[in-house]
Amino acid sequence: MFVRRKQVKGNIYYQLVRNYREDGKHRQQVLCHLGRHKSLEAAIAAERELAEVHELGAAHWSEHAQLTKDYCLEAYPDQISGDLPSRRQAYLQWRSASHIISSTDRRHFLELVYEYHDYMENAQRHKKWAAAHKDRLNKFLECQRKYF
């Protein structure tokens, strides 16, 4: 087994490769693509770190979303029944509530709802990235268990 260096469109990538014989001929099998990492251990460490970074990012944005939601529920209990409205629902509510609350309060409510949804999208994005890095980490760990 060895690490092969490949150059693709000017970028250097590494692969973990094994040699074997088939019908008296030498063959090579790529066991896993290491990306820009020169060793399996380096690839494992990098994926662990990236998964952790994105899990922390997801927690950070989820916390911001929850704080914004709590504030919104406290500041505007009459405009919200249960969960926060979608952006579209909040916009329609903003347009139709001119006779109920002031324009400043309506604008603030709309901004909070948009902020909440932005934070939730960021949290979901980081969760997705963390899951992708965990999947890649699991592939590397499986390769390590199987061949080392």
Residue 46 has pLDDT above 90, yes or no: yes
Provide the CA 106 distance to its chain's centre, in angstroms: 32
Provide the CA 88 distance to its chain's centre, in angstroms: 25
Cβ neighbours for 118, distance < 8 A, ≥ 6 positions apart: none
Confidence (pLDDT) at 99: 58
Strand partners, 97: none
Taking the C-alpha atoms of residue 135 and residue 112, their distance in angstroms, rounded to an integer, is: 35
Confidence (pLDDT) at 137: 97
Domain spans, the chain: 1-38, 39-147
CA dihedral (137, 138, 139, 143) in degrees, to 10, reads: 100
pLDDT in tens, 80-131: 777 888 999 888 877 776 656 677 888 898 999 999 999 999 999 999 999 9
pLDDT in tens, 49-92: 999 999 999 999 999 999 999 999 898 887 777 788 899 988 88
